[in-house]
A and B are shown apart, each in its own frame.
Chain A
Amino acid sequence: HAETVLKASHQWPGGKGDVRDEMVQILAREVAKSDVDLRIQVYPGKSLFKPREQWGAMVKGVLDISAFPLDYASGRHPEFSATLMPGLVRNHDRALRLNTSPFMQDIKKVINDAGVVVLADAWLAGAFASKKQCITGPESMKGQVTRAAGPAFEQMLVGAGASIASMPSSEIYTGLQTGVLDAANTSSGSFVSYRIYEQATCLTKPGANALWFMYEPLLISKRSWDKLNKEQQDALMAAAKVAEDYFVGEAKGLDDKLVEAYSDAGVEVVEMSGDDYQAWLDIAKETSYKAFAEKVEGGQELIDKALAVQ
């Protein structure tokens, strides 16, 4: 009998030690070890699909496995915006508790109904950096031209008086350098890989009160899943568990690397206080949460469920 080959696509550099690439590679290696006539062919670094085309391709069964920020599909399922919403996660420990909460059960139901299955959960933290003024409370954001990661963050930052400039994360460096940008918000990993420490003067690290978290699960197309036999499905799930455990162990490490890189470069490193965090939540309630609740049916309940998690 012939071996089943599954295509796995993601957007991060392959074989360079990127944690998110490694998560997919582990899945492939573990499945290969289990000897169930199943092989995963990894296409890293956007070498197959553009990041935002991966969801559609999985739904159609053209792509089997992928990992990407779920928010990319929020145009099709507005509920997914809740997975890149300010202040719903706060820290890595709480992210783990969120995974099994009614909030994520609702999100996963939407994912399943769309024809996609979650193999492994993954949450990434992010940070803020500025060359003008340290970003702590909302008042520190006023008047800063900022590149934000995610629409819900744009809404909140505008609410705090920032002005938004859109650009891909690869242009943040030049943006800060030429002065188009005063500040930027993106994931901890991107802050390091794009060497933004050379331009920023102050970093707001994720810490105990991280405003920015993003859900970036490992997914498989339902069509591809259904074609596998029970043995293969079990092997895939077991492999996904190994990948998820690896990721959980590394996620905090990404934040540590971020702080290290910025301290080494002589950048001031600060963190949000509990009061700062609360002040941001108050703005989020009036901006991004409000917009979400208006746009998504049951949106307010979804946010309440996320906030209810201890």
Chain B
Amino acid sequence: MSPLFSGLLVLLALLALLGIGTPIAFALGFVSIVALLIVDGAGSLSILGETFFGGLASFGLVSIPMFILMGSAVASSPAGKDLYEALDRWLNRVPGGLVLSNIGACSIFAALSGSSPATCAAIGKMGIPEMTKRGYPNEIASGSIAAGGTLGILIPPSITMIVYGIATETSIGRLFLAGLLPGAMLTALFMAWTIYDCRRRGIGLSALTERFTMKERFSALPRVLPFLAIIVGILYVLYGGVATPSEAAGVGALFCIVLVVVIYRMWSVSKVTNMFRDTLKESVMIMMIIGASELFSYTLSSLFVTQSIAEWIAALDVNRWVLMAIINFFLLFAGFFLPPVAVILMTAPILLPIILQAGFDPYWFAVVLTINMEIGLITPPVGLNLYVINGIAPDITLGEILRGSIPYVMCMVVGIVLLCFIPGIATWLPELMMGR
């Protein structure tokens, strides 16, 4: 049986298991085990535990729960509301002002949280009800949050970038810098679309009449200061020679917990437990998927599928931009079915050598890959942000969320195209701060 054919069988089996609703981690694990048992015999069972354990026991991965906790700590407080309300005082005179405030809040919050679902939850929890209350249609209220939330993995810190850094042995600190300007660019694109769309459809204009004095505008700012303090603090710890990214994550998590407890007086046991419980749920889910993805990658490599796909792509011998287009479609497809960490662990070993061969920058590619993963977060069947929105606002249908997020997905596609024409958007800042 040729490797590509056995790869196809594995893929079909995986899709079948995913289709009937087996949790992603266990579907990946089950398919791997069965394939290994068939091809390599019973001996492969004996290394299952070691592979799974070894896949998780890495100091790089330590930062994942920590960066999630940073987000959850802040998300459990009313801070998200403060953030967009403060922004709203400045933006309410622009068409779609409240939506802009929410997107801006997502973008700032993304600098505190390594995870997209957490960003989505933190801002959406208060933001979606407020938007619908002020007359924005469900599509815009949910679509903007679903899309804005995805900034969580582009704007540093980012779980996706951490896993990419580990899988490709690139510097996590440098990856973080590479994501900063593209994150700002996507934020700007999202906002530009929102202004255009709201003006065109004449929605959310009622708020235009409400005027805030400059005094009111400035008086709201102190509430945003703690966020900025944490962001600046983390940047200092990361780039000021204090600690490695994993260590910075731990220190940042402690900062955030203390801040939330002190400023928002969240010291009751149940409130603290809640923020930890949310963190536990998301990190354990992601870590189990990482362990299972390691097993799945091992299986594909052992069956020589990975190597055959890489050879096949290399043999295509096409123009490097055609190659990049093919890779983007491939990533988008994978992103439909799998969460970002799984896609990266499975595809990075195949794609990175090809990318480097074709003369692309690995840090630039990390950004392109991450934006592809952001799209995957708001597309079915597996879209982590969709689940979050569904949890926050059960009344909004999946169709409404999807209709609302399509324009933002288009913005992301535009972002990828811009990155292809102007690679400096991703590479300029890391080169400025860390040399070539």
Contacts and interface: CB of A to CB of B under 8 A. Distances in A.
A180 interface: yes
B244 A62 contact: no
Interface in B165-222: 169-174
Contacts of A48: 298, 301-302
B244 A171 contact: yes
A198 B59 contact: no
A198 B434 CA distance: 10
Contacts of A177: 434-435
Interface in A25-50: 41, 43, 45, 47-50
Contacts of A50: 51, 54-55
Contacts of B240: 178-179
Interface residues of A, number: 29
Contacts of A62: 40, 43-44, 46-47
B354 to A, nearest CB: 13
Nearest to B298: A48
A173 B171 CA distance: 8
Nearest to A43: B301
Contacts of B40: 62
The prevalent SS among residues of B at the interface is helix
A64 to B, nearest CB: 12
Interface stretch (A115-123, A161-169, A201-209, A282-290): A161-169
Interface stretch (A52-60, A87-95, A228-236, A250-258): A52-60
Nearest to B51: A53
Interface in A59-90: 60-62
A178 B173 contact: yes
Nearest to A46: B349
A93 B71 CA distance: 56
A138 interface: no
Contact of A171 (B44, B55, B171, B241): B171
B259 interface: no
A299 interface: no
A273 interface: no
A60 B51 contact: no
B285 interface: no
A180 B243 contact: yes
A144 B171 CA distance: 22
B306 A47 contact: yes
A174 B298 contact: no
Contact of A180 (B44, B244, B349, B435): B244
A175 interface: yes
A49 B169 CA distance: 16
B428 interface: no
Contacts of A41: 304
B47 A56 contact: yes
A45 B297 CA distance: 13
Interface in A196-238: 198
Nearest to B168: A170
Nearest to B169: A170
A204 to B, nearest CB: 22
A61 B41 CA distance: 11
Contacts of A170: 169-171
Nearest to B241: A179
Contacts of A57: 47, 50
Contacts of B435: 177, 198
B26 interface: no
Contact of A52 (B54, B239, B244): B54
Question: Of residues A7, A50, A61, A198, which shows the largest number of chain B Cβ atoms within 10 Å of its Cβ?
Answer: A50
B59 A167 contact: yes
Contacts of B301: 43, 47-48
Question: Of residues B43, B171, B242, B349, which shows the largest number of chain A Cβ atoms within 10 Å of its Cβ?
Answer: B171
A47 B309 CA distance: 13
Contacts of A52: 54
A173 B170 CA distance: 10
B173 A174 contact: yes
A180 B172 contact: no
B47 A167 contact: no
Contacts of A47: 301, 306-307, 349
Contacts of B233: none
Contacts of B43: 60-62
Given A47-B301, A47-B349, A53 B171 contact: no
Contacts of A49: 298
B23 to A, nearest CB: 24
Interface in A103-142: none
Contacts of A173: 171
A41 B55 CA distance: 23
B250 interface: no
Question: Of residues B40, B170, B304, B434, which shows the largest number of chain A Cβ atoms within 10 Å of its Cβ?
Answer: B434
Interface of A: 7, 41, 43, 45, 47-50, 52-53, 56-57, 60-62, 165-168, 170-171, 173-175, 177-180, 198
27 contacts: A7-B302, A47-B306, A48-B301, A48-B302, A49-B298, A53-B47, A53-B51, A56-B50, A57-B50, A60-B43, A166-B59, A168-B59, A168-B60, A170-B169, A170-B170, A171-B172, A174-B173, A174-B174, A175-B244, A177-B434, A178-B173, A178-B238, A178-B239, A178-B240, A180-B241, A180-B243, A180-B244
